Amino acid sequence: MALSTREAYGEALRKLGAKYDFWVMDADLSKATKTDLFADAYPERFINMGIAEGNLMSTAAGLASCGQTVFASTFAIFATGRAFEQVRNSIAYTNLNVKVAATHGGVLIGPDGGSHQAIEDISNMRTLPNMTVVVPCDAASTYEAVEQAINLVGPVYLRFGRFPGDDVYKTGSCPFEIGKGNVLIDGNDVTLIAIGDMVPESIKAASILKQNGIDAAVIDMHTVKPIDAPLIIEYAAKTGAVVTAEDHNIIGGLGSAVAEVLAENCTARLGRIGVQDLFGRSGSKEELKKYYKLTAEDIAEKAMALVEYKRTRR
Amino acid sequence: MNINYLQQKAAEIRLKVIEGVSSAASGHPGGSLSISDILAVLYFDKMNITPKNPGNPDRDRFVLSKGHAAPAYYGALALSGYFDENEIKKLRTIGSFLQGHPDMIKVPGVDMSTGSLGQGLSAATGMALYAKRRNKKFHVYAIIGDGEMQEGQIWESFMTSAHYSLDNLTVFIDLNGLQIDGEVKDIMNNNPVREKLTAFGWNTIVIDGHSIPEIGAAIDAAKETFGKPTAIICNTIKGKGVSYMENKVSWHGAAPDANLAELAMEELGQQLKKLREVG
Ligand SMILES: Cc1ncc(C[n+]2csc(CCOP(=O)(O)OP(=O)(O)O)c2C)c(N)n1
Ligand SMILES: [Mg+2]
C-alpha cells in the first residue's frame, strides 16, 4: 500500500532527524501533518505553537535567524493563506532557512470541503522572491524533497497531499534534484507536465494516448519554482503541444508557470488541466477527481484535442 | 551604570533621528523619540554586543517589533559602531542600505527585519526558544508599540513565551498612548495593559520610559526573574525631547522641514550640551 505524501513527509522527518540537526514546528495539526512522528522521536526539537499560524511562521523565522533549519507545518490553506504575510515578511523577505511544509494541498484532500482545500497555495508561494516551491508526487520523491530542502539554504514551500496515490518512483532510487524536472516517459506528439497526484494520472493518460496512436511524453515537474525552463522549451519544441496537470487552480500554479515559459520562448500550444477557478467541495478523492475533471481520461482528452489542433494547423 | 553618559547617548540618538528623517523628508520621528532612552540603555550599557562582529552567535538579540522607529534604531547602531554615522544622512534613499524599515540582510546589527507590525515579537520569541532549548546564555529584547498591541499576533506570542517559560525574553511596551489615527484609547482601547499581561502569565514592571535609572533597574529585575518572561511597561511621550513634537499625533509619520529640523536640532543640542557640562 502506497503512503500518502504527508505520511512520507512525517517518515522522512523522523528518519532525517537522526542525520541532520533541524527543528519542526506545528500548529495543533501534528497528527494530520504527521509531524507527530518527529515529535515522538525528537521532542527537544519539536515545538507546538497551538492554533496560531501567523505566530508559527514568525516564531520559526526567529528560530531560523539563530542559524537553525526549521520546518513549519500546518495545512496548506492556513500556511499560505492565513499566514501569507508572515511567510512573506518574516520568512521570504528575510531569506531565512524556514521550510514551510504544508499538507492537505488541493481539492483531492476530500471530505473536509472547500474551506480546507487549498487551490491557491502554489500560486501564493510562487510570487514570493527567495521562495522555492516543491510538490513531490509520491513517498519516494517526498523523502528526497525533504532531504534536499534541508540542504538548500533558504525558504522552501513544500506541498503534500492527504490520501495515498500510486507510487511513481522506487524507494531509494528516485532521481530528484530541486529545479530539474524528471522525464518519466519520452514521447514525440505531446508533453504532459504534472505535479503531485496528477503525475500518476498523467502516466495513465499516456497509456490511454498510446492506445490511440499518440506518443506522449510525461514530465514530473516537482519543482514549480524555479521551474525547469530548458526542459519545457526542449519538449515544447520536440512535441509542439503541452498539457499541464495539477490539483490547484489553473490560475497561478503549474499551468501558469509553464505558460509563462512557453509564451516567451515557444510556439507550442498549451492546455491546462486543473481546478477551473472554482472552490473545492466535500467528496472522496476519486469522486472529486471526476467532479473537477482531474482524471487520466480528462488529461488524455485535452492532449488529443491539442494533437488534433496541431494536425489541422499543419 | 553611568546615568549622565547614557542620557547623552539618548540625546545623540534623538539627534540622529532628526538628521535621518529630515534628510529623507519622510519617516517616523514620534515613535523613534519615545524609545531613544530605552535604546541608549540597551546598546550602551545592558546588552552584550560585538559591533565589529555583528553575527557573533552569543550576542544578546534585539528586535524592534515597531519597525517604523527605525531612525532611532539606526542611530543607536551607528553610534555603537555597527556602521558609519554618515549613512544616516542617506536614510531611505536608493543607494543606502538603511531601508525605511529595518532589514536584517542589509543592515549590520539588525537581528530581525520588521515593519509589518505584530511579527517582530514572535521572531524574538523564536530566538528565546532557541536559547532556552539549547542552553545558550544570550538574552532577547524586543520593543513593541501600544498601537501594535492591537494585532492579534502579539497576544499569540504573549501566550507562547509564557507557555514556554521564556525568562530570557524581555519586552518593552512603548506606552506612548498614540498611534496613527489618534489616541490608542479612542481607536481601540487596550487597557489595562498590566493586568492583561499578568493574566497571561508575565512578570510586569511599570516604569517611566524616559528615566535611565528606571530602565536600567527594570532590565536588572527582568534578568533576575525566573520561569516567566518580563514586560517592561514604559510610560512614554511620543516625540519626547522635541517640544513641538511631544504628544502630537501628527508627528507619527511626518518629517520636519529644514526650519523645523533646525529648531529640533537646536533644542536637542542644548540638552546634550547641558548633559556634557554636568557629566
Ligand atoms: C501590520 C501593519 N499594519 C499597519 C501598519 C501601518 N502602521 C505603521 S505605524 C502604525 C501605528 C503604530 O502605533 P504604535 O504601535 O503605537 O507605534 P508608536 O506610537 O510607538 O509609533 C501603523 C498602523 C504597519 N506598519 N503594519
Ligand atoms: Mg503608540
Domain boundaries, chain A: 5-159, 182-313
Report how far ligand 2's centroid is from the alpha carbon of B47 (Å).
24
User: What is the chain A residue with the closest CA to B111?
Assistant: A65
Distance of CA A92 to CAs A67, A187, A211, A304, Å? 16, 38, 46, 40
A74 contact B CB<8A: no
pLDDT at A124 over 90: yes
Residues framing ligand 1 (Cβ under 6 A): B 30-31, 34, 66, 68, 115-118, 145-148, 174, 176, 178-180, 238, 252
Asked if B119 and A60 come within 8 Å (Cβ–Cβ), the reply is no
Distance of CA A69 to CAs A24, A62, A269, B81, Å? 9, 11, 41, 30
Kindly list the domain boundaries of chain B, sorted by start residue. 3-278
In sequence order, the β-bridge partners of residue B183 are B178
What pLDDT score was predicted for residue A171? 86
A171 contact B CB<8A: no
Cβ under 8 Å to B: A residues 88-117: 89-90, 93-95
Exposure string over A265-279, b if 16+ CB within 10 A, otherwise e: ebebbbbbbbbeeee
Exposure on the CB side of residue B258, measured as CA atoms within 13 A: 0
CB under 5 Å of ion ligand 2: residues: B 145-147, 176, 178
Enumerate the residues of chain B whose CB falls inside 8 A of the CB of residue A63.
126-127, 129-130
Q: Are B33 and B14 in contact (CB under 8 A)?
A: yes
Query: Whole-angstrom Cα distance, residue A197 to residue A203?
Result: 11
Mean pLDDT score, A46-71:
98
* Angle at which helices B70-80 and B3-24 cross, to 10°: 120
What pLDDT score was predicted for residue A103? 98
Instruction: Supply the mean pLDDT for chain B.
Output: 98
What pLDDT score was predicted for residue A1? 67
pLDDT digits (tens, 9 = 90+) for B221-259: 999 999 999 999 999 999 999 999 999 999 999 999 999
Chain A closest CA to B170's CA: distance in Å? 15
User: What is the chain B residue with the closest CA to A87?
Assistant: B119
Q: What phi and psi, each to the nearest 5 degrees, are found at residue A174?
A: -105, 115
State the cell numbers at A103: 499538507
What pLDDT score was predicted for residue A172? 83
Atom of ligand 1 nearest to the CA of B180: 11
Atom 19 of ligand 1, residue of closest alpha carbon: B179
* Angle at which helices A139-151 and A5-16 cross, to 10°: 50
Of A14, A48, A52, A19, the C-alpha closest to A34 is: A14
Query: Whole-angstrom Cα distance, residue B56 to residue B50?
Result: 7
Asked if B129 and A63 come within 8 Å (Cβ–Cβ), the reply is yes
Query: Where in chain B does DSSP place strands (E)?
Result: 61-64, 140-145, 169-175, 203-208, 230-235
Q: Are A184 and A169 in contact (CB under 8 A)?
A: no
A86 contact B CB<8A: yes
A50 contact B CB<8A: yes
Strand B140-145 to B230-235 pairing: unpaired
What pLDDT score was predicted for residue A173? 86
pLDDT at A230 over 90: yes
Asked if B123 and A50 come within 8 Å (Cβ–Cβ), the reply is no
Q: Which ligand is nearest to the CA of B180?
A: 1
Atom 21 of ligand 1, residue of closest alpha carbon: B31
State the cell numbers at B14: 534623538
Q: Are B35 and B236 in contact (CB under 8 A)?
A: yes
Distance of CA A150 to CAs A6, A22, A135, A144, B264, Å? 17, 8, 15, 10, 51
Distance of CA A270 to CAs A231, A310, A313, B94, B265, Å? 15, 11, 14, 41, 64
End-to-end CA distance of chain A: 46
Query: Whole-angstrom Cα distance, residue B100 to residue B80?
Result: 20
> pLDDT category, A200, cuts 50, 70, 90?
very high
What pLDDT score was predicted for residue A191? 98
Query: Whole-angstrom Cα distance, residue A72 to residue A61?
Result: 9
pTM exceeds 0.90, yes or no: yes
Active-site residue set of A: 53
The residue with cell 505531446 is A190
CB neighbour list of residue B199: distance below 8 Å, 6 or more residues apart: none
What pLDDT score was predicted for residue B85? 97
- Using CA atoms of A247, A248, A251, A255 in order, give the dihedral in degrees to the nearest 10: -40
A48 contact B CB<8A: no
Which of A47, A62, A94 faces B122 most closely, judged by CB atoms? A62
**Given this chain, do its domains A5-159 and A182-313 carry the same CATH topology?**
yes
Which of B115, B123, B163 faces A61 most closely, judged by CB atoms? B123
Atom 9 of ligand 1, residue of closest alpha carbon: B68
pLDDT at B138 over 70: yes
Which of A45, A50, A62 faces B123 most closely, judged by CB atoms? A62
A to B CB pairs, distance under 8 Å: 94
Interface TM-score (ipTM) > 0.90:
yes
What pLDDT score was predicted for residue B254? 97
pLDDT at B41 over 90: yes
Asked if B157 and A59 come within 8 Å (Cβ–Cβ), the reply is yes
Q: Are B121 and B154 in contact (CB under 8 A)?
A: yes
Which of B33, B179, B249 for a ligand 1 pocket mutation test, highest count of atoms within 8 Å of Cβ? Answer: B179
Mean pLDDT score, B29-36:
98
Kindly state which CATH superfamily the domain B3-278 is placed in.
Answer: Thiamin diphosphate (ThDP)-binding fold, Pyr/PP domains (3.40.50.970)
> CB A200: neighbour CB atoms within 10 A?
21
Count of helices and strands (H, E) across chain A? 13, 12
CATH of domain A5-159: 3.40.50.970
A182-313: CATH topology is Rossmann fold (3.40.50)
What single-letter amino acid sits at A176?
Answer: F
What pLDDT score was predicted for residue B276? 97
> pLDDT category, B76, cuts 50, 70, 90?
very high
> pLDDT category, A193, cuts 50, 70, 90?
very high
Q: Are A67 and B130 in contact (CB under 8 A)?
A: no
Residues, chain A, total?
Answer: 314
What pLDDT score was predicted for residue A313? 84
Which of B131, B133, B153 faces A58 most closely, judged by CB atoms? B153
pLDDT digits (tens, 9 = 90+) for B160-208: 999 999 999 999 999 999 999 999 999 999 999 999 999 999 999 999 9
